[in-house]
Amino acid sequence: MKKVFAFLLATLVVMSFVGCKKTEPSVKPQDKEQEGEKEGEKEGEKEGEGEGETVEYETVEVVMKTAYIEAICEWPEENDWKATRIGETRWDLSYDEFGHMVSAIVKDDPEKSYLFEYDEDFTECEITTQADPEIVIYDLELNEDGLCTKFTNNTKDPAEVWTYTYDADGFQLTATIGGAVKTAYAIKNKNIFTWSRNETRLKEHKYNDKANVADIHTSWSEDAGLDRFLYETGLFGRSSANVCTEAKWQDKDAKATYEYEFDEATGGITKETKYYAGDYDFDVCFAVAKKTIKRVKK
């Protein structure tokens, strides 16, 4: 598989010339064997191998995260076990013309700068770093909706292999490792209602009626083999349709509450502030912008 730099170069060539072969969209046509675009076809259509079969594309404007910033406050000494969370990290995100994330770059930190390389039909993704783009740190197998069903974490020794299931709306339902379900979700009204820890403890979430523009993953399981950054790629399921205001373990009295700042032009979340038991916990900030992407016309 070519490395991501070749992929990005190919993307630029595609965007510069009409009639060249186009990258498959993440939401692929029913005929997964379709390939290429015949010369002379009008832009927005691709002819498949089957006689008379075509796939039409539409250009749509969506709100996407263009940068993801995580800033964590300093914790009191009694919570020094959380010291690894102290600090500030900014990922600048970039996407191809179909909305697939292709890079997440931290300035002056190549070891935290991630590169995403997909195969031609978007059934596999390899993630490397700028520090060493020849070493694959994560291997992903993707389903027809572009969601990861198998995640191999090569940074572990031995490598950890996780599997994930999803519902028809693209919500992650389970995360399993070694045959054991480590977390499971319950979805209500297209919002994450609860997620479980080892199928025992449950964390419950509440929402307001504001739309979660730009797919911010406030409600995510810490027990799925992933950090929050990987959730924000969109490769591991969609986020809740509404904005989360509260999260609480069902066996605890203390709860987390959330406040947000929004971009006036797009309605996207630009800052999430979390409080736990009434005390400030941390901030997560985003940059959002309208982007024009291509997708299969329904």
Average pLDDT, the chain: 82
Task: Label the pairing between strands 242-249 and 256-262.
Answer: antiparallel
Cα–Cα separations (whole angstroms), residue 74 to 84, 114, 172, 261: 10, 26, 32, 22
7 inside domain: no
Is it the case that residue 124 has pLDDT exceeding 50? yes
Q: Residue 135: CB partners within 8 Å, gap ≥ 6?
A: 128, 129, 154
Chain Cα centroid distance, residue 194: 19
Cα–Cα separations (whole angstroms), residue 84 to 74, 213, 282: 10, 30, 13
46 or 285, which is more confident: 285
Q: What is the pLDDT of residue 26?
A: 37
277 inside domain: yes
Give the HSE-up count for residue 105: Cα atoms under 13 Å, Cβ half-sphere: 10
Can you give the pTM of this predicted structure? 0.78
201 inside domain: yes
47 inside domain: no
44 inside domain: no
Domain that holds residue 224: 60-296
40 inside domain: no
262 inside domain: yes
Is it the case that residue 96 has pLDDT exceeding 90? yes
CA separation for the pair 266, 133 (Å, rounded) = 35
- The model's pLDDT over 147-157, given as tens digits with 9 standing for 90+, comes to 999 999 999 99
Instruction: Tell me which of 118-127, 142-151, 155-164, 195-204 is least confident.
Output: 195-204
- The model's pLDDT over 14-50, given as tens digits with 9 standing for 90+, comes to 343 333 333 343 333 334 444 444 443 444 445 444 5
CB 226 within 8 A of CB 164: no
- The model's pLDDT over 226-247, given as tens digits with 9 standing for 90+, comes to 999 999 999 999 999 999 999 9
Describe the chain by its helix, strand, coil percentages, rounded to 5. Answer: 10, 45, 45
94: number of Cβ within 10 Å: 13
CA-nearest of 83, 104, 80 to 228 is: 104
220 inside domain: yes
Domain count, the chain: 1
Task: Assign residue 250 the CATH number of its domain.
Answer: 2.40.160.190
Give the HSE-up count for residue 254: Cα atoms under 13 Å, Cβ half-sphere: 6
72: number of Cβ within 10 Å: 17
